[in-house]
A and B are shown apart, each in its own frame.
Chain A
Amino acid sequence: MAAQMNALANRAESNTLRSEEARLRAVLAERLDIQTRFASLPGTRALLVSPIGAGLPRGLVVDRSANAAERISLYVHLAAHIALKHDLPLVTIVESRAEVTSGDANGHRDADQLARAMWWGTPAAGLRAGWPGRRSRLLRPFLANRPVRSGLRVVLQLLRGLYYVARANRLLEGTFVARWLRDALCVTAVVCAAPELVASSRLERPRA
């Protein structure tokens, strides 16, 4: 059963998630002047290196093992750091897989809080950070609870499977239903990878 669940989760690394990841990476490049590359970073999820002067691009290195949903949540979190002006010249922001050190904890907590507002499309946060929010607020209360969001993810994946098996895509492609299903799957996968996007409780925050 666990293997089947994992297989389902892996299938969720869908084109939708991958294209959303690419879209947000492009947003980082265009709006925040961040050049992203991927490399093996044992113990670390990402490094954001800021140059000495304004107007020069920042460099982002993301761990190659991070899946699309994790990358999306990282991009939102890093955009929040930048909106909060944590990217000082010659300062590297390290997104570690381990527990944050006490000196960094406040910065990451503030970034989590703003990232949450940006992700759900709170107008003030979006304007502040120049970030495209999700605005799928209908899902938010369901995703706040770990068992419910895991169940919801499985249900949405089954629905997507049915959608293609029944060839409903021929009828529904481009409609509100198809767009909503795609968006819901993406939001659910990202929140499963980064529960801090819904949870304010530290109990649900495994990340650094």
Chain B
Amino acid sequence: MRLQDRERVSRAIRTLKGDRSLDSLVDRIYAITEGSVMLDRATLQRVATGQTRVTRAIDSPEDCVRLYFALMIVGCEQELTLAEIVGEGRTMLAGFVGEPLATLVFADLRRTLPKLTDRRTLREYLEEGLRVWLPK
């Protein structure tokens, strides 16, 4: 995939990863997505530092959506605010797949968010969202 706004995506990833190192982020994304997103360390390093527009191993919109859910789950683990998690997650997705598909995927979270009163509930929503996007 080619990133549409590499600097903004880079900032979103750095915010969502919180205190984690990029190495541990790669491992965590691999674990959360049950191995379906195999982002290599060098690529993530370059994306997170805004040095590249091309992401190897993220070939399809489905991969991007899985990465979107996974990064927001990581954000939940990093004690970020709900607004930060949701805002940066959406920005990251739009940077990967473009505004129209990002809006479609994000619409459900936008509708659901007012009913989720707690970060744990948001995390369960994200985990379930990821699960329905995992390859069968």
Nearest residue (CB) in B for A49 is B128
**Size category, B interface:** 20 to 34
CB distance A61 to B104 under 8 Å? no
State A39–B114 Cα separation when bound (angstroms): 20
Q: A63 to chain B: closest CB distance in Å? A: 9
State A92–B108 Cα separation when bound (angstroms): 7
State A59–B124 Cα separation when bound (angstroms): 11
**Interface residues of B: mostly helix, strand, loop or mixed?**
helix
Which of B118, B120, B132 interacts with A59 by CB under 8 Å? B132
Q: A54 to chain B: closest CB distance in Å? A: 12
Count of A-B residue pairs with CB < 8 Å = 65
- A155-177 residues at the B interface, CB under 8 angstroms: none
**Size category, A interface:** 20 to 34
Q: Mark B93-136, 1 if CB is under 8 A from A, else 0.
A: 00000000000110110011011111011001100110111001
Chain B residue numbers with a CB within 8 Å of A59 are 128, 131-132
Q: Mark A80-100, 1 if CB is under 8 A from B, else 0.
A: 000000000011101010100
Which of A49, A52, A56, A90 interacts with B107 by CB under 8 Å? A90
Binds B, one of A40-48, A146-154, A198-206: A40-48
CB distance B121 to A49 under 8 Å? no
Nearest residue (CB) in B for A96 is B115
Chain B residue numbers with a CB within 8 Å of A44 are 115-118, 121
Q: Which residues of A contact B (CB under 8 A)?
A: 39-44, 47, 49-52, 56-59, 61, 90-92, 94, 96, 98, 101
Q: Which residues of B contact A (CB under 8 A)?
A: 104-105, 107-108, 111-112, 114-118, 120-121, 124-125, 128-129, 131-133, 136
Mind listing 6 A-B residue pairs with CB under 8 Å?
A42-B118, A47-B121, A47-B128, A52-B133, A61-B124, A92-B111
